[in-house]
Amino acid sequence: MKDLKNWLEEKQLKRTAEFLKERGFEVFLVKDKEEAKNVVLKLIPENATVGIGGSITIREIGVIEELEKRGNKVIHHWKEGLTPEEDFEIRRQELLSDVFLSSVNALTFSGELVNMEGIGNRVAAQIFGPKKVIIVVGKNKLVVNLETAIWRIKNIVAPLNAKRLKLELPCVEEGYCIDCNHPKKICRITTILEAPPARTPFYVVLVNEELGF
Ligand code: SF4
């Protein structure tokens, strides 16, 4: 049974990789997080500053430690003890990094990259600012279409993120989205990349492994 499931997931990833290429994205299809890390390291010049969006996927592939070890300046705001002002300033600096490294919340079979967030720094950096954008996506983020992408984000990604951030939101209480207007609501901005932004080289590393959520 596991083989059958693997066969289908691999086939879907390959087809999605083709659609992404047709849309103009540079695509790498890799088997696991180790391969993903190596591809990402090759795409980043050793003197580049690297901004990292809030991303569990990027932390799971273990690339941040490797970048720092070889001398890249890494800018990211997932640090203990930052004041709100420091956190805001780091997010601004991420926008002007040489390379921005992140993931997406959902990827449709036909190659649309879908994100939803509250502050907007991650989606802003994916659209304009950094000289190069690299996105790493695990197979668990693949969805049939835009409708299922939004469903996935509101009923899986948002409640898990809200719980991780210890936010007392309705989706944490209920376990699913009730389309709230809570003052701490985390789904305020939705972006759909149908193609790479016109002036930014954009790489998508598709991983045949579950990463992030
Ligand atoms: S709209 Fe509100 S309830 Fe729904 S996922 Fe977003 S924060 Fe949670």
Q: What is the pLDDT of residues 155-173, one digit of tens each?
A: 999 999 999 999 999 999 9
Q: Would 165 be classed as within a structural domain?
A: no
Q: How confident is the model at residue 2 (pLDDT cuts 50, 70, 90)?
A: confident
Note if the pTM is more than 0.75. yes
Task: Residue 117: give its domain's CATH number.
Answer: 3.40.50.10420
Q: Would 188 be classed as within a structural domain?
A: no
Q: Whose C-alpha lies nearest to ligand 1, atom 4?
A: 177
Query: Ligand 1: does its nearest atom lie under 6 Å from the Cβ of 165?
Result: no
Distance 15 CA to ligand 1 centre (A): 32
Q: Would 169 be classed as within a structural domain?
A: no
Q: How confident is the model at residue 87 (pLDDT cuts 50, 70, 90)?
A: very high
Q: How confident is the model at residue 69 (pLDDT cuts 50, 70, 90)?
A: very high
52: containing domain: 2-143+193-207
Q: Would 133 be classed as within a structural domain?
A: yes
Distance 176 CA to ligand 1 centre (A): 8
Q: Would 121 be classed as within a structural domain?
A: yes
Please report the pLDDT score of residue 79 as a whole number.
87
Calpha distance 172→71 (Å, rounded): 40
Q: Would 159 be classed as within a structural domain?
A: no
Atom of ligand 1 nearest to the CA of 184: 7
Q: Would 186 be classed as within a structural domain?
A: no
Q: Per the structure, how many domains does the chain have?
A: 1
